Amino acid sequence: MLKVSGKAVYKGIVIGPVLVFGKEDQKIKRTKITDADAEISRVGKAGEQAQAQLQGLYDKALKEVGESSAAIFEVHQMMLEDEDYLEAIHNMIRTEMVNAEYAVAVTGDNFAELFSGMEDDYMRARAADIKDISNRLVRNLMGKEDINSADMKPSVIVADDLSPSETVQMDKEKILALVTVHGSANSHTAILARMMNIPALIGVPIDLNEIHTGMTAVVDGLKGEVIFEPSEEVCAETEARVRGEQEKLKLLQSLKGKENETLSGKKIKIYANIGSVSDVGYVMENDAGGIGLFRSEFLYLGRDDFPTEEEQFQAYKQVAQTMGSKNVVIRTLDIGADKQVDYFNLGKEDNPAMGYRAIRICLKQPDIFKTQLRALFRAAVYGNLSVMYPMITSVEEVKQIQDIVAEVTAELEEKEIPYKKPEQGIMIETPAAVMVSDELAEIVDFFSIGTNDLTQYTLAVDRQNARLDDFYYPHHKAILRMIKMVADNAHKCGKWVGICGELGADLELTEEFLRMGIDELSVAPSMVLKVRKVVRESEV
Ligand code: PEP
Ligand code: MG
């Protein structure tokens, strides 16, 4: 039994089998072998397994994101059969008498280097694919499971760290819990874990070489600890606690369909935050009144090229239609900082959180922005959509956005494409936006306060830096005064104001937000009923 503590980002408890998620740059040992034929036959088996995995991924992607995005898995299947590639691996095994893992990894690196030196853009881009299929073969040879495999059992995912694009590609139904050695409590992975309603522990100091796929683990988000290979006694105790938690959840279910109204009759809207179309299920399940933040950038992650206007239109339309008359606030892309996407070619920055991100990219590369706006305005015909813009710092930026919006609507008008200009709001997540919120309130329809970034920028604490978690203190008076100031400025102009950062779900502050007159709280779907409970028990 091995017990290790970490930081809990979602307070659930679960027991289940472990799946160790190997990083792509896994260290591969070179070992001498005696039977080259046996080693080559291992490569063959790993290849067959990879073909089946890729077919599973293709089928899943086809259903979820469409044919053009799924095609990459077909390309990978073809590359796996490439004669030059396979011959190079076999040759190396025979001439150097080395293990299959090593031969595949070195051949993968050699081919990737070859491709990346080519003139042609398409061929250069194939370098990453060669690395990808080689990593897949190595994973199969090492007996490590593929996190995307269609036949994966529901598991506790243990990893060094997870990027947002890795998390977004996982089959959420199959994740019982997340345990990572690194990661900070305010990262997007943590946010996703809360959204998916799964226990998650980060900053867990474990040696991944000692943890194996197939072990049993108890992930206890309430105590902030994970226990590998628990004793029978711990298993029994955990199972009893899991049942207790399920009972509490059942009690919360009785709040479905009830008003978000305090004992003295004050009302507030409780909406949910989502990152993908499939999350709408969680919104419905938890009876949220609407969607207060659809992080649209997740449509751009985990793929090789920009989503087209049509792909985006279909995604936004589906959310709008499913939510019917309920309000859906879609935020335009917030790429940059921790959400890096290769094809944006953003380049390395010393200070990405204060760098080229979000609305800054949109204003500097209006073609990307206009594609998204066209998709949004077309989708607005199908439901009750609002659009909001992230990382605003000034009135001038909003005016530039308004000019681009006017160009987009004029183009749609001219081409007689059906559209609707949705309600236009902005995120208040920089201290600059707070300080000029009186002027901003005059030119937008609503505010949504992003307390995650507002805390980062106000307290000068990088939200991604796990060492600073103790200094990341969103209850700081400075933050609470800013929220009050923004709410007052919005209301003076007759505009509504919500909170969509994680602080909106902080039950210790719900009463304070009610007193400030906040109109809407947008929280992880799993928090909707918990916030409703506090509101309904409040005297405010
Ligand atoms: C925020 O900053 O509070 C927010 C909601 O946006 P994100 O967490 O996606 O940066
Ligand atoms: Mg933000």
Mutate to test the pocket of ligand 1, among 168, 334, 483, 503 (most ligand atoms within 8 A of CB): 334
For ligand 1, atom 8, name the residue with the nearest CA: 452
pLDDT, residue 148, reads 59
The answer to whether residue 493 is catalytic is no
| pLDDT at position 466 | 85
φ and ψ at 158, to 5 degrees?
A: -115, 125
Position 157 scores a pLDDT of 93
Helix axes 36-65, 83-96, angle to 10 degrees: 150
- Residue 537 burial (CB count, 10 A): 11
Could you say which ligand is closest to the alpha carbon of residue 503?
1
- As given in the structure block, the two tokens for residue 300 are 């751009």
Ligand 1 centroid distance, CA of 450 (Å): 5
Give residue 499 CA to ligand 1 midpoint distance, Å.
Answer: 10
In whole angstroms, give the CA distance from residue 402 to residue 335.
20
Provide the edge-to-edge strand list for the sheet that holds 225-228.
2-5, 225-228, 216-220, 13-21, 155-159, 175-180, 200-202, 7-10
User: 429, 453 in Cβ contact below 8 A?
Assistant: yes
CA distances from 164 to 110, 174, 336, 413, 450 (A): 29, 17, 12, 37, 18
449 C-alpha to ligand 2 centroid (Å): 9
| pLDDT at residue 149, as a whole number | 55
Q: Whose CA is nearest to atom 6 of ligand 1?
A: 450
**Distance (Å, rounded) from C-alpha 425 to C-alpha 429?**
13
293 alpha carbon, closest ligand: 1
- Characterise 183 by phi-psi region: left (phi > 0), alpha (psi -120 to 50), beta (else): left
pLDDT (tens, 9 = 90+) of the chain, 540 residues, equals 999 999 998 888 999 999 998 754 557 889 999 999 999 999 999 999 999 988 887 887 677 656 766 777 888 899 899 999 999 999 999 999 999 999 999 999 888 888 877 777 677 767 777 888 898 899 889 887 666 556 678 999 999 888 765 676 677 788 999 999 988 777 766 777 777 778 899 999 999 888 988 899 999 998 999 999 999 999 999 999 999 988 888 889 999 999 999 999 999 999 999 998 888 988 998 999 999 999 999 899 878 899 999 999 999 999 999 999 999 999 999 998 878 888 998 888 989 999 999 999 999 999 999 999 999 999 999 999 999 999 999 999 999 999 999 999 999 999 999 999 999 999 999 999 999 999 999 999 999 999 999 999 999 999 988 889 889 999 999 999 999 999 999 999 999 999 999 999 999 999 999 999 999 999 999 899 999 999 999 999
Task: Determine which one of 76, 90, 362, 500 is catalytic.
Answer: 500
Task: Please tell me the residue having the least CA distance from ligand 1 atom 10.
Answer: 453
- Atom index in ligand 1 nearest the CA of residue 429 equals 2
Ligand 1 neighbourhood includes 334 CB (under 6 angstroms): yes
H helix runs in 327-470, sequence order: 359-364, 366-379, 395-414, 431-435, 437-443, 451-459
Q: How many C-beta atoms lie closer than 10 Å to residue 485's C-beta? A: 16
Could you give the CA distance from residue 308 to residue 74 in angstroms, rounded to a whole number?
20
- The pLDDT score that the predictor gives to residue 235 is 94
pLDDT at 28: 84
Asked if 500 is an active-site residue, the reply is yes
- Cα–ligand 2 centroid distance for 226 (angstroms): 30
Q: What is the pLDDT of residue 195?
A: 72
Residue 389's φ and ψ, nearest 5 degrees, are: -115, 130
- Measured between alpha carbons, how far is 439 from 390 in angstroms, rounded to an integer? 17
For ligand 1, whether the C-beta of 6 sits within 6 Å is no
| Beta strands in 327-471, from DSSP E residues, in sequence order | 327-331, 384-389, 423-428, 446-449
Retrieve residue 390's tokens.
């992230």
Query: pTM above 0.75?
Result: no
In angstroms, rounded to a whole number, what is the distance separating the alpha carbons of residues 91 and 485? 70
